[in-house]
Amino acid sequence: MQIKQFRTGSRLDYIHGTRAGWQREIAFLKDPDPSGEVAFLLHDRLEQTPAAVWRLWLTGDRVEFPSMGRATLIGSDGIDLEIFCWPAKTALTTAAATVEGMVRRNGREERQPTTQTALETALSSQSPISVLLWPRRKQDPAPRVAWFSNGRGVEIQSDAGTSYLSLPATELQSSPDQQFNSFGAAVAVQLRGSMLHSTLTGRGLFKARGHTESNEGDSLIDTSVSIP
């Protein structure tokens, strides 16, 4: 994949790349606390190929489908993975595949089979797909997720607070709760108690819960402010 843009900040990493007629954007919502909540927003679209099968490769015990456009990977250890798709009507299926690789064990090399599950759906040049990946401890509830701006923005409500994640936009984007607006570069906002944490990855602006941040240059801005 040819990387077009890569930015990294305290709350957000963003990458945009192209390969063989398709484009992918990834926004990684993160927390400086290793035990904090994280999420991955993937946005894929075809540029030249009229249709393809989109796949997300997973390793775990099994995949469950709570509702249309939703999947949960049940992990082997203490972590499950919640998967939210846009459009919400995305029809998901699974397919298993086993491959062999070489591993070194007890001083000798041997073949080791690995089985993964592909989460699949049809993808066309007229219909991009967005996917939010949310790893969580098994005892924690799944977040409440609301998409906006045709899958280029997502509002996430969890036990820790509310988060907003937005990919680059040439038009104003507004969250469903009307508490977040953004324009320009990719941005992440996390509301944690009375604190608002954000990363604005370049030229652009956002407004969230009465706080406004703007950037006239291409530099990345990390901010933490107290809000009423």
> Which CATH number does the domain housing residue 219 bear?
2.70.98
Number of structural domains in the chain: 1
Euclidean distance between CA atoms 170 and 185, whole angstroms: 9
User: Which amino acid is located at 199 in the chain?
Assistant: T
SS3 205: strand
The SS3 call for residue 1 is coil
> CB–CB of 44/23 below 8 Å?
yes
- Residue 141's nearest CA partner among 44, 218, 198, 72 is 72
**Tens of each residue's pLDDT in the chain, 228 residues:** 899 999 999 999 999 999 988 999 999 999 999 889 999 999 999 987 788 999 999 999 999 999 999 999 999 899 999 999 999 999 999 999 998 888 887 888 888 888 899 999 999 888 899 999 999 999 999 999 999 999 999 999 999 999 999 999 999 999 999 999 999 999 999 999 999 999 999 999 999 999 999 999 999 999 999 998
Domain that includes residue 189, residue range: 2-226
Q: Tokens 């995949």 map to which residue? A: 63
Could you tell me if 92 and 121 are in contact, meaning their C-beta atoms sit under 8 angstroms apart? yes
